[in-house]
Structure 1
């Protein structure tokens, strides 16, 4: 008889979700960024331990599968991490880990922190090292004007300050 027509015991089967995709870019992190990734991994492992102690049903099996997938993802991110200490960067050149103040064409001042992909949060001014704005700024010096190519058109930005916290 076809397996499609047999009732299987759902309690004996586990669920394995496909892995989350990894970025093709090197995983640059600051020392704090690595610590944050490791903390996320440990928190997810603790979540999994709690889930495994709960009674099994489909929802709990799905939650376990999600936690296991997240752990595999975070383990890979930690394993691929390349730690770059911002304190070791040249102080007058925009680089990974820098906080940069720019002046826009319409005289708005904007502050960006150039961070790794896992720490990026554009709403909070933390931009990925691989974002178009970071790529435009990296390697430039104080007082330079750079062209930021964006979908709505290009914009010139003047670098007013560079800091490495």
Structure 2
């Protein structure tokens, strides 16, 4: 049978022709808790890969396996280049990586964000990347300073009302 129009590779191996997921050009600063979570995620993916390899006759499993290979490589590389930064290593004179920052916007509404690594950022949990527009605007600032948060929805003026460092395990 001709394989000219078949997308899967010949043989039993799942294809590995998906493009590599790009890596950030920034240093991979990460909290110790964030690094632990990345390693746990990698372990879970490797376990899932083992399950899928046992069921390689299933076309759905082959497709998932192909995707999983790329994700595993991506996570392995992110962990390889990770630079753990514990919050207790930061000075308290200005906002640094790992700080939880209290802010007031120009309407008087309070906001609270924690500055974390790119792999840990989660807007739903108010965890912002240190390279995000807000994260980078906050770094090296002090209590009482005003910053401008450049957003697609429009700029906002924010006043820094306080900051502290929570244990990395809490994140």
Q: State the TM-score, normalized to the length of structure 1.
A: 0.90
Alignment partner, residue 14 of structure 1: 14
How far does the alpha carbon of each residue in 1:102-160 deviate from its partner, in whole angstroms, 9 at most, with x for none?
A: 01110000000111111111122111111101111100011111122223333221111
Q: Is the 8 A contact 2:114 2:127 kept in 1?
A: yes
Alignment partner, residue 128 of structure 2: 127
Q: How many Å separate the matches in 2 of 1:89 and 1:75? A: 27
Q: Is the 8 A contact 1:28 1:84 kept in 2?
A: yes
Q: Is the 8 A contact 2:21 2:70 kept in 1?
A: yes
CA RMSD in angstroms, aligned pairs only: 2.1
Alignment partner, residue 32 of structure 2: 31
Q: How many Å separate the matches in 1 of 2:76 and 2:54? A: 22
Aligned to 1:117, what secondary structure does the other structure show? coil
Q: How many Å separate the matches in 2 of 1:9 and 1:30? A: 40
Q: Segments of 4+ in structure 1 off by > 6 A?
A: none
The 5 A counterparts of 1:100-139 are 100-139=101-140
Q: How many Å separate the matches in 1 of 2:142 and 2:73? A: 39
Instruction: Answer 1 or 2: which has greater helix percent.
Output: 1
- Count of residue pairs brought into register by the alignment: 163
Unaligned runs of 5+ in 2: 167-171
Q: How many Å separate the matches in 1 of 2:50 and 2:3? A: 33
Unaligned runs of 5+ in 1: none
